[in-house]
Amino acid sequence: MIIHKGYSDLHFKDPVITMGVFDGVHLGHRMLLSRVVKEAEKSGSDAVAVTFDPHPRIVLTGDHTHLRFLTDIEERIFLLNQTGIGHLVIIPFTHELSRMTAREYVETILCRHLGIRHLVTGFNHHFGRRHEGDSNTITECSTRMDFMVTREEALTVNGEVVSSSLIRKLLEEGEARKASAMLGYDYFLRGKVVSGKKIGRGLGFPTANIAPRFAYKLIPRSGVYAVEIMVEGDTEWHAAMLNIGLRPTIKESDGSRTIEAHIINFDSDLYGKDVTVRFSERLRDEMKFSSIEELVAQLGRDRERTIALLRH
């Protein structure tokens, strides 16, 4: 996949194009992108995906406190590269771009700069100023500007339409397995191991404290999860149990939300290293125990359950 920053001076061969943020690059996105690749192969054309960075909501929202996304641009590139798309055009999203009408966007960017011959669009795609552009706008533009349009229908999993917003909701509710079924892969986050208070080591469960790399990364609901971890420079996924929360049983806890992973049968120093965590299943809520001994006993049960789940 060839990556293009911006849309100037690009020369594609009768490109088949789809466009969107593609947050998560989920199964619905992959169906759309697969159609682009197939249509391009049929006509000997270039298969092109157009996306935006930063996410439009980061630019347009004044209060960023509650903004959370499934993927940053590096993760989107990684996932899009798996789809067979030949070219990825990353357009810097700005306030100026947001004021462009849907028709101006099609005429200026898709037609004049990218030379579109065929647009593949999702079932509910909206674009342009205040999301005014819809399927009717695209049909009108295609007739006037001479390009073909294919509209993909919605993809459903277990009776629900796959969407980035639904996947975010599922993760916020702790439904990691349902989210994975819609993503087509286990949800993951990347972060750096930072120093902690080494409380877990004193309990016999040393943990790595993980600080997410992406400030807007969606962190699943608090609780204990069975996960797998890849350590920077390694090629093997390690079974681990991970706690997201406030550590209410620990007196030394400062009340801040942490992400702590205990990697099973692993004893190397991880401080300062980058890790990738992929979520398999949520085991339970975070709990306050009446004693440290009760906490340690529960951690032992969590470890055994994690081993059993990940073995299968």
Q: Which helix (H) or strand (E) holds 39?
A: helix 27-43
SS3 4: strand
Same domain (yes/no): 207, 291 = yes
Query: Is residue 106 a part of any domain in this protein?
Result: yes
Instruction: Kindly state whether residues 218 and 298 are assigned to the same domain.
Output: yes
Asked if 131 and 199 sit in the same domain, the reply is no
Same domain (yes/no): 147, 54: yes
Residues 133 and 8 in one domain: yes
Contact 72, 162 (CB under 8 A): no
Task: DSSP letter for 219, please.
Answer: P
Q: Is residue 266 part of a domain?
A: yes
Exposed / middle / buried, residue 192 (Cβ in 10 Å: 0-12, 13-18, 19+): middle
> Which amino acid does the sequence have at 41?
E
Query: What is the per-residue pLDDT for 131?
Result: 75
Classify residue 111: in a domain, yes or no.
yes
Q: Are residues 150 and 208 in the same domain?
A: no
- The pLDDT, as a whole number, for residue 252 is 64
In order along its 312 residues, the chain shows pLDDT tens digits of: 999 999 998 999 999 999 999 999 999 999 999 999 999 999 999 999 999 999 999 999 877 888 999 999 999 999 999 999 999 999 999 999 999 998 999 999 999 999 999 999 988 777 777 778 777 888 888 899 999 999 999 999 999 999 999 999 999 999 999 999 999 999 999 999 998 766 667 677 889 999 999 999 999 999 999 999 999 999 999 999 999 998 777 766 666 889 999 999 998 889 999 999 999 999 999 998 989 899 999 999 999 999 999 987
Question: 6 and 151, same structural domain?
Answer: yes
Beta bridge partners of 127: 133
3 state DSSP class of 271: coil
Half-sphere exposure of 76 (CA within 13 A, CB side): 25
Count other C-beta atoms under 10 Å from residue 208's C-beta: 26
Q: Are 18 and 114 contacting, i.e. CB atoms less than 8 angstroms apart?
A: no
What was the pLDDT predicted at 242?
Answer: 97
Token representation of residue 79: 């996932």
Last residue of a domain, one of 126, 161, 196: 161
CATH number for the domain that contains residue 111: 3.40.50.620
- Shared domain check, 199 and 110: no
What pLDDT shows up at residue 58? 94
**E strand map for 86-187:** 87-92, 118-121, 148-151, 156-157, 160-161
**CATH at 192:** 2.40.30.30
pLDDT for residue 253: 63
Tokens of 172: 């916020």
> For residue 199, what pLDDT is reported?
66
Other residues' Cβ atoms within 10 Å of the Cβ of residue 80? 21
In a domain, 43, yes or no: yes
This prediction's pTM: 0.93
Structural domains of the chain, count: 2
Q: What is the DSSP letter of 7?
A: S
CB 106 within 8 A of CB 138: yes
Tell me, yes or no, whether 145 and 198 share the same domain.
no
Q: Residue 117 carries which DSSP code? A: S
| Residue 16 domain boundaries | 2-161
In a domain, 171, yes or no: no
Residue 241 lies in a domain: yes
Does any domain span residue 147? yes
**195 shares a domain with 104:** no
Peptide bond into 206 cis (omega under 30): no
Whether 289 is in a domain gets the answer yes
Token reading at 63: 């209060």
- DSSP at 112: I
